[in-house]
Amino acid sequence: MTISQTSQPLPPKYLQEDDLSEECKKLLSILPKEKGWIESYIYNYQGFWTSPRVIQGVIACQQQFQAQDSDIILVTTPKSGTTWLKSLLFSLVNQMKHPIFKQNHPLLVQNPHDLVPFLERRPYVDGQVPNFSSFTSPRLLSTHLPYASLPKSVQDSRTKLVYLCRNPSDTFISMWHFSNSLRLGYLDTNSIEEMFDLFCKGVSLHGPFWNHVLDYWKESIKKPHKVHFLMYEEIKEQPKIQLKRLAEFLECPISIEEENGEVVDEILRMCSFENLSNLEVNINGKLSTGPENKLFFRKGEVGDWKNYFTIEMSEKLNHVVEQKFQGSGLKFLYT
């Protein structure tokens, strides 16, 4: 790893590669690799690009995770609003256990990532044995894995999948900022030009972006009762309608009707960017996996890409997106 300044403190765990298992190191030595977004290198495993430490978690969860029919798994392309949807799902699913109007709601004191763990990161990363005993049914979990790499029991069971993506331009900008923030002080930051070219080539976290989105899009058409497909921009545009649809899909049709929409309004307020980003835990706290909570709250807007893209960049990505999504019926919203 090329640490930019030798006098820096030890890098956080997510940047360390020395303590990976021998089996994982052996595997990495034969996998295709490219310049990394977060670590020095990103590797292609089972057709998608990801970090070395995550590969170890992917292998473990594919081998060990046993899905239950009642499970709910949030699947996202990285930087598509995972943190937001985790908070919305947590509020919806736990209405009985944690009523939204109660003062001690877990979302007020814990980051959504600590409440809804990524399968391939926390329970299974670093050879840990997962402890799901604290999870009441339905278990709420998350993943960035492409459809083909989900643990087999997830595909075979009646587990419900909520899928979230975001327009590729904002996804890219958010990913570039986030990964540079994780490198800051330990590795040189990556230029926007270099990472943009990699993104367009499909080399992005859990990318190619288009493969990830298209696979879940197709599954959501084939199996609408299993996969609920959402876009960040749609939730921004019609939060109440989208939340209601989500509740229907999950078969937990809240007290929406009962309380004249007060519950919906309060869930949306509690999970808003303004509210979550200003909580003490999200200003000064850290995730159990290392990163600072505040890195998950940057701007939370649609269309920030316009502040960064040149005309050439915009044309290039539009062209790639047009080609990749041609005939799929899928359209992204950019503003």
Nearest to 17 by CA among 9, 8, 29, 30: 29
Q: Is 207 in the site for ligand PAP (CB under 6 A)?
A: no
Catalytic residue among 144, 177, 206, 212, which?
A: 144
Catalytic-residue membership of 144: yes
Residues 136-175 that bind ligand PAP (CB under 6 A): 170, 174
* HSE-CB of 187 using CA atoms within 13 angstroms: 22
Pick the binder of ligand PAP from 300, 313, 317, 321 (CB under 6 A): 300
Q: Is 304 in the site for ligand PAP (CB under 6 A)?
A: yes
Structure-token pair, residue 67: 């899905």
Q: Is 80 in the site for ligand PAP (CB under 6 A)?
A: yes
d(CA 36, CA 198): 10
Identify the bridge partners of residue 292 per DSSP, sorted by sequence position.
Answer: 286
The nearest distance, CB 85 to ligand PAP, in angstroms, is 8
The nearest distance, CB 167 to ligand PAP, in angstroms, is 10
Q: Is 291 in the site for ligand PAP (CB under 6 A)?
A: no
Q: What is the 3-state secondary structure (H, E, C) of 81-140?
A: CHHHHHHHHHHHHCCCCCCCCCCCCHHHCCCHHHHCCECCCCCCHHHCCCCCCCCCCCCE
Tell me if 77 sits within 8 A of 165, measured CB to CB.
yes
Q: Is 299 in the site for ligand PAP (CB under 6 A)?
A: yes
Q: Is 82 in the site for ligand PAP (CB under 6 A)?
A: yes
Q: Is 94 in the site for ligand PAP (CB under 6 A)?
A: no
Q: How many residues bind ligand PAP (CB under 6 A)?
A: 21
d(CA 286, CA 114): 10
Tell me if 92 sits within 8 A of 247, measured CB to CB.
yes
Pick the binder of ligand PAP from 45, 48, 65, 84 (CB under 6 A): 84
Pick the binder of ligand PAP from 273, 308, 325, 334 (CB under 6 A): 273
How do beta strands 140-143 and 72-76 pair?
A: parallel
Pick the binder of ligand PAP from 53, 177, 183, 212 (CB under 6 A): 177
Q: Is 110 in the site for ligand PAP (CB under 6 A)?
A: no
Tell me if 231 sits within 8 A of 85, measured CB to CB.
no
Looking at the Cβ atoms of 153 and 234, the one nearer to ligand PAP is 234
Any alpha helices (H) in the chain, and if so which ranges? 22-28, 52-64, 82-93, 112-115, 152-156, 168-183, 192-200, 209-222, 232-237, 239-249, 262-270, 273-277, 280-284, 311-325
Looking at the Cβ atoms of 249 and 296, the one nearer to ligand PAP is 296
Q: Which stretch binds ligand PAP (CB under 6 A): 75-83, 152-160, 251-259, 312-320?
A: 75-83
**Phi, psi torsion values for 165, nearest 5 degrees:** -135, 180
Nearest to 270 by CA among 230, 239, 246: 239
The nearest distance, CB 233 to ligand PAP, in angstroms, is 11
The nearest distance, CB 232 to ligand PAP, in angstroms, is 7
d(CA 296, CA 300): 9
The nearest distance, CB 82 to ligand PAP, in angstroms, is 3
The nearest distance, CB 222 to ligand PAP, in angstroms, is 25
Looking at the Cβ atoms of 157 and 272, the one nearer to ligand PAP is 272
Applying CB under 6 A, the residues found at the interface with ligand PAP are 76, 78-84, 170, 174, 177, 271-273, 276, 296-300, 304
Question: Among all residues, which ones are annotated catalytic?
Answer: 144
